[in-house]
Every structure is written in structure tokens, then in C-alpha cells.
Structure 1
Amino acid sequence: MTKLTFDITPIAIIDTPFQQKFTIPRQPNLANAPGIVKFTPEFADPRCLKGIETFSHLWLLFIFHETLSRGWKAAVKAPRLGGNNTLGVFASRSTHRPNGIGMSVVKNEGVKDVDGQKVLLVSGVDLLNGTPIVDIKPYLPYADALDNATDPLERYASIPNREVTFSEQAASYLQSAHNRYPQLQQLIQDILRQDPRPAYKHKLNDDPKTYHAALYDLDVSWRVIDGRIHVSKIAPADSTR
């Protein structure tokens, strides 16, 4: 077979709350995280978005830009199998892929004018801030939602749903930050209830380690205590922990 290569040009960059891979939901729509798709000059023509408002959900095709340099493997560790068992790369949604392309279905929140440019608002994102978007396609329920589809990994490890509590300091900070980030508390709850720790640690209902979630310009400190996720502190990311 003749080897073919193709150039892919990003059409946009997406702004999201997620400043690090850790704590990003494992799949889209597991948290109501917002995203702003900002188009590059070449693709900022408003005609590109004509009719997009008629679709409730959209597919975002993107590049795993932070892992491209690490290459790919034929067999990858599957987090839902405990982190040590492997699956074939094409039987997984690993970020380490031959062409580094990912896809996420997100809710369409509409088009908005920002500084004279059209941006696309979406929610339910699971993408790192600054991720390059290479294509956008409408989500078609009759073709994309199949009632008889199966997920064998669900038998091994369902996604956790832990209770999330907040310290007095964290609750107070949420109140003070409400005008800037009105959905911050719900976002933190949506993310942390899934227990972002490695799957092999999910059996630990008391974990002495303090973990950190980088959201927007904030650092969210949390631990697992008595089976619950406890947010101990929320502070600006550049402050001393």
C-alpha cells in the first residue's frame, strides 16, 4: 500500500476551565464544563456557522497536542481496568494514538460575538484549555445514538459517584468568586464526584494524600475522607499552597 500523508490545519482553539489533564472528566458531558471555541482568522467567516444553531449537540474533533511528542503504543493501559491491564489502542480512547486525533460530543450553547468575532459556546467539554480543534460536525441522533450499543468496560469499573463536601474556607471562597465563576461549585462537584484518582486507588476510602485540581486560575485542594471527596481549600493558582 502506498503511504499517504496529509496536513491538518486547526480551525480553532477552545478555551476551557481545565489547566491540567488530571481531573478532566473521562468522557464528555460527565460535567457541565463550559468551552469557548475561538476560530483562527482563516475560518472565522460567519458563513461557516450558518445553520449550526439548529443542532442541539456537536462533535468536536481535536488534537491531543500535549501528548503528540510521546508517540503511540499498540497496547495501552486502560484506567477503568485498574491502570495495569491493557487494551489495543483501537479498542480504547487513549490519548496516545497514531494520529493524535480525539473526538467529543458537546452541547451547543450558541454563537456569540466577542470583540467583533464569532465564537461558538459549548458545554459538557472534556478538553484541556488551548486544545486545537480540527473540525466540527453536527451530532445526528438517528445515526450517532445506537440503542443496542454495548460498553464491556462498564462490567469492570463503573464511574464513581462520590459525595463532595466543602470546608468553610472553600465555601466562603465559592461565594466570593460567584460573580466571576457562577457555575464553579457545580463544576467542582461534577468533576470530583467521579474520583479523578487512578482507578487502583478507588478502593481507598481514606486517602492521606492531598490532590489538586487546576480550574481556570484557581487551585482546588481535596482529599478522600470516609469515602467522601472533601474540598479543603480553594485559592488563586499562583498563591502558596
Structure 2
Amino acid sequence: MEIEPIARVETCYPEKFGVPRQPGLVKQAWGRIIFEESYRAENFIRGIEGFSHLWIVFHFHLASQRKGKETVRPPRLGGNERVGVFASRAPFRPNNLGLSVVELVEVDYASLDGPVLKIRGADLVSGTPVMDIKPYVPFCDSVPSAIGGFVDGEPVRMEVAWCSSCIVPEMSRTVIEQTLALDPRPAYHVDLEREYGCEIDGYAVRWRVEQGVVKIFACEPSQ
């Protein structure tokens, strides 16, 4: 079996650290799906604007290969308890394929890379290869009575406090706050004085967690 990317994604997350662990948790996390040249004919997406959300089938291209690995350690279980890889949504999978549902904001037909799909609620690192796109159909894709196992319910969000010297536009500030509130630290980290850094929406952000509060002490435009 051979498959190839049909598109790639540009998002506000240029690196793995900091990317939300599930789609839709950071509502303003933007992205652009740019099709490969072979798939840029408008006929490929005819009718797509009738849908508010899309399923994105993608490749975890930055995940190290762990073929044959039977179990993983989900962050929701503290990073110590193991579950079967097929009972998780971890990136370390036999074929490294992922599935995310995102909001379709608009189709940019004027782009030089066009048509380009503008999306929100992304949980994808910039550069992620897209293997397929399917419309989200509410009557059959939404199951209100579904049980979420060990990930039932949304994650707890932390308070975020900014240093007074951090001057950031409102939109980027919102994306950064919503992202760090989800506590992207590895679940096994116990060093409470450790400082973290990641790049989000064009800003290099430095932060630490103190008494359950994410404290941003530096936020400068990325070089």
C-alpha cells in the first residue's frame, strides 16, 4: 500500500512542544491547509463550504518510529500508567496516522497557493502532511451518549498570568493563553522550578508553573 500527502498544514505551532493534545481545545488556534500541486484544482473541494467542520487525516511526521510498541503512557494518566496503543490517541502508532476535527473558517481562492482552507481549533504542528480530508457530518459523527474512558471530560485549565513587560496583540495573546492553560508540560516532569520555552503564533514564550498558575515572564517576537 502506498499513500502520499495531498496537502500540508501551516499553523500557529512551529514546534511540537506546546501543541494542544486534542483538537478544538484552543478555539483560536489557526491553520491553513495548503494543497500539493496535484490537488489544487477547485473541483477537489467543490461543495466543501457547506460544511462547518472537517476531519483531517494526517501523518505524525515528527514522531519517532516505534514499530511494534504495544503500550503507551497517556498524559491524562500522569505519564506513568500504560494502556494499549489502540486504546490511546498517542502519536507513536504502527502507521503514525492521526485524526483531527477542525472548524472550516473559509476557503481562500485568491491565495497564490490556492485554494487554501483556513481552519481553527488546530492541534497540528506546522508542516504536518495531510493524507485525506473528509467533511464532518453531525448526524452520524456526533455521538452524545459516547463514553470517553480514561479521557472522559475536558482537561482542567490552569490560570495564566502575564509579566507586565509582555506586549502582545490580542489575537496572539488569546492563542498563547489558551494553549498554556492546558499545561503542555510532560506529565512526568516534577521539577516545580523548571522554566519552559516554546514558540506560539510567532512569539517565543518563556514560562513556569508556580502554585498551579502558569506565569509568563518573557514573550518576544520569534526571530
Bucket of the pairwise TM-score, normalised by the shorter protein: over 0.9
C-alpha contact 2:66 2:94 (8 A) present in aligned 1: no
TM-score with structure 2 setting the length = 0.93
Distance in 2, Cα, partners of 1:211 & 1:160: 19
Unaligned runs of 5+ in 2: none
C-alpha contact 1:72 1:96 (8 A) present in aligned 2: no
Q: Residues 163 and 135 of structure 1: is their aligned pair in 2 closer, same or farther, counting only changes over 3 Å?
A: same
Post-superposition, which runs of at least 4 consecutive aligned residues in structure 1 deviate over 3 A?
A: 68-72
Residues paired across the two proteins, number: 221
Number of the residue aligned with 1:164: 160
Number of the residue aligned with 1:214: 199
Number of the residue aligned with 2:143: 146
Distance in 2, Cα, partners of 1:234 & 1:8: 40
**What is the CA distance between 1:131 and its match in structure 2?**
0.2
TM-score with structure 1 setting the length = 0.86
C-alpha contact 1:68 1:100 (8 A) present in aligned 2: no
Distance in 1, Cα, partners of 2:52 & 2:113: 24
Distance in 2, Cα, partners of 1:72 & 1:196: 27
Q: Considering only CA atoms, is the larger Rg found in Structure 1 or Structure 2? A: 1
- Deviation track 1:90-130 (CA, whole Å, cap 9, x = no partner) reads 10001111111101000011100212621010110000100
Number of the residue aligned with 1:23: 18
**What is the CA distance between 1:71 and its match in structure 2?**
3.4
Percent identical residues: 38
**What is the CA distance between 1:216 and its match in structure 2?**
3.7
Number of the residue aligned with 2:216: 231
Unaligned runs of 5+ in 1: 1-5
Indicate the larger mover: 60-69 or 132-141.
60-69
Distance in 2, Cα, partners of 1:109 & 1:36: 10
**What is the CA distance between 1:45 and its match in structure 2?**
0.5
Cα root mean square deviation, aligned: 1.8
The reply on whether 1:121 has 2:121 as its aligned counterpart is no
Distance in 2, Cα, partners of 1:104 & 1:72: 24
Number of the residue aligned with 2:47: 51
**Partner letter of residue 220 of structure 1?**
V
